[in-house]
Amino acid sequence: MEITWKTRSHNPEYIGGLINGAGQVNFGIAIPSFDSVLIGLNPNSVAPGLTSVPADARPSIVEANITHLAFDLMVGLGSAGVFLMVWYFVVLLGRRHLPQSPWFYRVASLAGIGSYIAIECGWTTTEVGRQPWIVYNLMRVADAVTSAPASFVWIMLSALLVVYVLIALIFVNVLLGLAARWRHEDERELVRAPEEGAPYGPRPELASDGSVSPMGPLP
């Protein structure tokens, strides 16, 4: 996750930055010795570098950079989340009410998306960072490939993409439809629990004469 080329002590921690084939790091902010401190709580701790692993058993330069940036993004988003939480509690404990600033709520609404991006970055870090192994030090990705024809793999991947895109589109559509319906009903003061009529929600009564639909009246 750190773009360290040679094994060394007093290893700096790079925030951002890209390593090149010669082992030099461009861009990025270096915090001197901080990586060593993170590893062993001591600037003298030795951080193993990429070159400590044979070239055919370690991530390529591009993979190392992807891993590093994904990890930085994950940690960054996580820290932003912690900052948001601290903000919330400071206001709550200090002033005994919820934060008033609209910026708090703007950032909070982005935190939902941010948490998903952070999760994906975490996966990218582990999966790209493990290359070229699928089971570390036991099995290479190239040795684990299915015997099924490539055409099947492509067809299956496309089918899954189509199905999930379709489901996502319908899902968003349904949510918008429900939001519109509830807004409409709120305006008519027919307030209903938002869970009603949804899977996992409590079930409305089923009339034995079938006169009442569980869906309720449509707008």
Residue ranges binding other proteins (CB under 8 A): 146-148, 152, 156, 159-160, 163-164, 167, 170-171, 173-174, 177-178, 181, 196-200, 202-206, 208, 210, 213-214, 218
Nearer to other proteins, 49 or 204 (CB): 204
Q: Token pair of 49, please?
A: 């570098």
**Which of residues 26 and 147 has its CB atom nearest to other proteins in the complex?**
147
What's the min distance (Å) between Cβ of 171 and other proteins? 8
Number of Cβ atoms within 10 Å of the Cβ of 204: 15
Q: Which distant-in-sequence residues (6+ apart) come within 8 Å of 88 by Cβ?
A: 99, 104
90 or 159: whose CB is closer to other proteins?
Answer: 159
What's the closest the beta carbon of residue 146 comes to other proteins, in angstroms? 7
Neighbouring CB atoms inside 10 A of 45's CB total 16
As given in the structure block, the two tokens for residue 152 are 């099947």
Which CB sits closer to other proteins, 92 or 135?
Answer: 135
Residue 140: which residues within 8 A CB-CB, separation 6 or more? Answer: 132, 133, 134
CB of 151 to other proteins, least distance (A): 12
In angstroms, give the least distance from the CB of 109 to other proteins. 23
Q: Which letter does DSSP use for residue 176 in this model?
A: H
- Owner of token pair 């989340």: 81
